[in-house]
Structure 1
Amino acid sequence: MGEPLKVGVVGTGTISRTYFEHLAKLPGTEVVAAADLDISRAKAAGEKYGVRAMTPDELYADEEVEAILNLTIPAAHASVTLAALGAGKHVYGEKPLAVTRQEARPLLDAAAQAGLRIGCAPDTVLGTGTQTARALLDRGEIGQPIAATAFFVSPGPEPWHPDPEFYYKPGGGPLLDMGPYYLSALINLLGPIARVTGRVGRARQERTVGSGPKEGTTFTVEVDTHVTGVLEHESGVLTSIVTSFDVWGAKLPRIEVYGSEGSLSVPDPNTFAGDVEVFKPGSHEWSVAQVAGGYADSGRGYGLADMARAIRDGGRHRASGELAYHVLDVMESLLESGTRGGAPVEVESTVERPAAVPEGATPDVA
């Protein structure tokens, strides 16, 4: 198998814990260093996980580190990735790839010019939930896919989040926050998206913090909090999508796909596993399908391990920067359509549908 890919983590906040824990168990990767603008946090992570602690600039210059795991806040994703690429490092990051297409495109160009890899979350789509659904679709379990639905609805994060204001500033909102999970799953299942039509709205101009030291304080909503529309896949499938921070309760599926010979219910794309259910003509109830694909018992970091395998073998990695860029392009196009009264918008980018993850696969084997 060869030597594992030596990884340095930039950003040691809450999300880093699950990456440290999963990557320690995965073949093909070895976390060797941690960095943060707050060096005390980097040192705490270093002590807890047995890695060297340093500043981000020191990490970029470190000769042992081959790849950077970018776990900074979204506003810093582009600058950190560009710095890492400039230092000759591969990069895997949390979603989104960048806040805008204008920030994201130069990252892909820089990586291509340097012969480096970019990967990006979510890698939830590599688990048994989405991948089992994909295997069923690919073998024709529900015939020819015709349409799909995708729903993420909630009242917003402020009832539980102690500092939720950033969710309601530019770069936030339900689509940009949760859309990457749903769109990454839909593209894995049904292929890239060619055209979108959207409408947008917001229920309230102010929100109130519901917990923590800021409880009871209000703040201004600067983005649309209900986004709905139609996604036209290159395959001809039409997906109806709703993402909302304006819904207190609903009985809705996460993702369903409707075919000429049945229907398929896909589990929450923000999780790695879950039951896939099938409804066929002549049946009066949904049945749970057997696992038919995906990395078993997976978690955050599997996308990076998959990229490490691709770097070693020269193949393609599944949670790619190109996929993340297409997802970002689709989201921005949907918002543009909404602000233009629902006028259709052509999605400029496309992407090759990622390779399926076979049942029983491990990230060190394609």
Structure 2
Amino acid sequence: MKRVGIGIIGCGNISGAYLKAMRNLPIVEVRGLADMNPAAAEARAAEFGLSAVPVDTLLADPAVEILVNLTIPKAHVAVGLRALEAGKHVYTEKPLGIAFAEGERLMAAAAARGLRVGAAPDTFLGGAHQTARALIDEGAIGAPVGGTAFFMCPGHERWHPAPDFYYEVGGGPMLDMGPYYVTDLVNLLGPVARVTGIATTPRQTRTITSAPRSGQTIPVHVPTHVSGMLEFVSGAAVSITMSFDVAAHRHLPLEIYGTEGSLLVPDPNFFGGTVEHLPKGGQWAPVETRYPYADANWRSIGVAEMAQAIRDGRPHRASGALALHVLEVMEAIGVSSQTGRHVEIATRPDRPSPLAESLVDGHIV
């Protein structure tokens, strides 16, 4: 089968993880790297034995079928629209955009041109999360009733060399980490019907404690402690909290409760981890991971699955429709906080089909 040509715009930290994983995903072939900072593209190209080219050159390359957009969140839609105008399918880092309306604009532009949009996170395709999905589908916990989803930390100024963007419009814990959690919840439970939320900003400034800017103060322009309740179309109700204001906590990342048991689901920022199951009246026990892509950082498996779907003429799983739904849910939590009411979710993406259905000898087909 002919490999799918990939171009990457944005050569920051996450690009290394994408490129490393792509070495082991033979359906894709990286044709070039580009960045607004040419030195960043050249350094990453040298590291992986690839070519660094100007953005316009990459967009004009007929061998590039999918443009992988690894720019900062504020640029996701603008860069995606340029790629669509150039006739490329687009796969973007999370979130799809920083506002639901601009995500809709990207999706409409793709539909008008008959092109595809894919989006991270693709961690829900990892073996641990596919194992949890299979257990739910098999009825191991009965009918899902509810759950919890927690990411809480003191803030990224502790470790990031330039944490400003986490506290600007387009940042904050919900847009930064929420996509991992909400996407996996949709994988496990299906789409969300409505939300309620509270978003607060306990501190108006942050003091950087990481090198090289330790001691500098930066302003905060977004809520940094966000809590919500997600009501799924299935009827399940899940509480979610994303925070940069918590010193420590003991909640597990994801817990799913059903009429006949419960599941502990590992961190959705990773592909692997241990799933634990407790049948009603029984004890917690680890579940053996049944599926591949749990043993490493497979970030870009969503790109490869999208590439294979293009060749096969079928829908891809880490889809723009899924990412748009997740963006709508995250934004609606803030809207609920501002208005003091439930917010109905308009989008209804298909629940992604299990990846296990497209695995043969550990390869996507």
TM-score, structure 2 as length reference: 0.96
Which stretches in structure 2 are left out of the alignment for 5+ residues?
Answer: none
**Structure 2 CA distance for aligned equivalents of residues 165 and 45 of structure 1:** 24
**Structure 2 CA distance for aligned equivalents of residues 360 and 325 of structure 1:** 24
Which stretches in structure 1 are left out of the alignment for 5+ residues?
Answer: none
Give a deviation string over 1:31-63, Cα, whole Å, max 9, x none. Answer: 011111122222222233222221111111112
Question: What is the match of residue 257 of structure 2?
Answer: 258
Residues 199 and 333, structure 2, Cα contact 8 Å, conserved in 1: no
1:24-43 correspondence runs (5 A): 24-43=23-42
Please say if 1:153 is aligned against 2:130: no
Residues 293 and 359, structure 1, Cα contact 8 Å, conserved in 2: no
1:102: Cα distance to partner? 1.6
The 10-residue stretch of structure 1 (32-41 or 172-181) with the greater mean CA deviation from structure 2: 32-41
Residues 132 and 294, structure 1, Cα contact 8 Å, conserved in 2: no
Secondary structure, aligned partner of 1:358: helix
Residues 305 and 364, structure 1, Cα contact 8 Å, conserved in 2: no
Measured at CA, do residues 324 and 13 of structure 1 come closer, stay the same or move farther in structure 2, by a change above 3 Å?
same
Question: What is the match of residue 350 of structure 2?
Answer: 352
Amino acid at match of 2:175: L
**Structure 1 CA distance for aligned equivalents of residues 51 and 65 of structure 2:** 15
Q: How many residues align?
A: 363
1:199: Cα distance to partner? 1.0
Give a deviation string over 1:152-187, Cα, whole Å, max 9, x none. Answer: 111111111222121111111111110000000000
Secondary structure, aligned partner of 1:222: coil
Question: What is the match of residue 288 of structure 1?
Answer: 286
1:258: Cα distance to partner? 0.7
**Structure 1 CA distance for aligned equivalents of residues 221 and 106 of structure 2:** 27
**Structure 2 CA distance for aligned equivalents of residues 309 and 335 of structure 1:** 36
TM-score, structure 1 as length reference: 0.96
Give a deviation string over 1:85-110, Cα, whole Å, max 9, x none. Answer: 11111111111111111211121112
1:51-130 correspondence runs (5 A): 51-130=50-129
Residues 10 and 71, structure 1, Cα contact 8 Å, conserved in 2: yes
The 10-residue stretch of structure 1 (139-148 or 297-306) with the greater mean CA deviation from structure 2: 297-306
Secondary structure, aligned partner of 2:2: coil
**Structure 1 CA distance for aligned equivalents of residues 113 and 292 of structure 2:** 31
1:202: Cα distance to partner? 2.1
Amino acid at match of 1:33: G
1:359: Cα distance to partner? 8.0
Give a deviation string over 1:111-141, Cα, whole Å, max 9, x none. Answer: 1121211110001110012111100000000
Residues 157 and 164, structure 1, Cα contact 8 Å, conserved in 2: yes
Question: What is the match of residue 321 of structure 1?
Answer: 320
Residues 144 and 258, structure 2, Cα contact 8 Å, conserved in 1: yes
Residues 198 and 336, structure 2, Cα contact 8 Å, conserved in 1: yes
The 10-residue stretch of structure 1 (122-131 or 287-296) with the greater mean CA deviation from structure 2: 287-296
Amino acid at match of 2:293: Y
**Structure 2 CA distance for aligned equivalents of residues 162 and 7 of structure 1:** 30
Question: What is the match of residue 47 of structure 1?
Answer: 46
Please say if 1:224 is aligned against 2:223: yes
Identity of aligned residues (%): 50
Residues 295 and 359, structure 1, Cα contact 8 Å, conserved in 2: no
